[in-house]
Amino acid sequence: MDWYVYPRGSSPIRKVSRKRRRRTKRVLTVSLLVLVVAGLVWCGVAFNRINSAATTSPIVKADAGVILGMSMWGDEPSPGLKERLDYALKLYKAGAFSHFVVSGGLDQPDYKYTEAEGMQRYLVAHGVPDKVIYLENQSTSTYENLLFSKTVMQQKGLSSAVVITHDFHGRRALEIAHKLGYKNPQLGITESKVMSMLKYKSREILAYTKWKVQELSL
């Protein structure tokens, strides 16, 4: 029997192997491009949704204004949190709601006040009676803000709410409120003059994406 010896590097097995590697590489490259394009499209969709948030108009008088927490700077609310508080005060004085629910836990173990306590102190210092302010001191996320605040509202006999936050945060907050079963939740949003929107809207795209994934399991 005659045996044919293939020239070095020309074995059919090696040729097939190279073809498979090239095919696999093409498939991976195309898949990566599809993922990148899909990611960019989703970022555009999320960005448009984030920018679509608007204060409910007209606001129907509610039982409570739920102020979503933000970081404390030591014993005082951060400038961003003060913006939310000032806007909440404006709505309160205009008669949009009769009670406050301030929501937010402890930022740092060595801080003296939780976000909720810091907000309470700020509101009282600006003329709000302490008896109309209810605290939610445990939350560490927007979802927990709204979940735990709903429990506080139920305990205090409050049924309707205006959710108060910044414009870039409003869409996600309102979606979560609806998902948690708030009764016709309304939205009160303010623009920021002290925070970088490039930074916060970029972060919100990621946070909104995380929420949409979380929503699927609820």
Gap between the Cα atoms of 214 and 218, Å rounded: 7
pLDDT tens figures, 124-151: 999 999 999 999 999 999 999 999 999 9
CA–CA separation, 117 and 2 (whole Å): 92
Q: Smallest Cα–Cα separation from 162: which of 135, 142, 180, 188?
A: 188
Give the pLDDT band (50/70/90) at residue 15.
Answer: low
CA nearest neighbour of 136 among 201, 47, 66? 66
Number of Cβ within a 10 Å radius of residue 130: 9
Instruction: Give the per-residue pLDDT at 14.
Output: 63
Q: What is the pLDDT of residue 16?
A: 59
Judge whether residue 10 has pLDDT over 80: no
Task: Report, as an integer, the average pLDDT of 188-208.
Answer: 96
Which pLDDT score, from 0 to 100, does residue 173 have? 98
Distances (CA, A) of 50 to 115, 122, 143: 24, 28, 16
> What's the mean pLDDT when you consider all of the chain?
92
Contacts for 109-118 with beta carbons within 8 Å, 24 or more apart? 111/72, 111/74, 111/75, 112/74, 112/75, 113/72, 113/75, 114/72, 115/69, 115/70, 115/71, 115/72, 115/77, 115/81, 116/69, 118/72, 118/75, 118/76, 118/77, 118/81
pLDDT in tens, 47-89: 999 999 999 999 999 999 999 999 999 999 999 999 999 999 9
- pLDDT band at 30, cuts 50/70/90? confident
> What's the rounded mean pLDDT across residues 178-202?
96
Q: Are 50 and 207 in contact (CB under 8 A)?
A: no
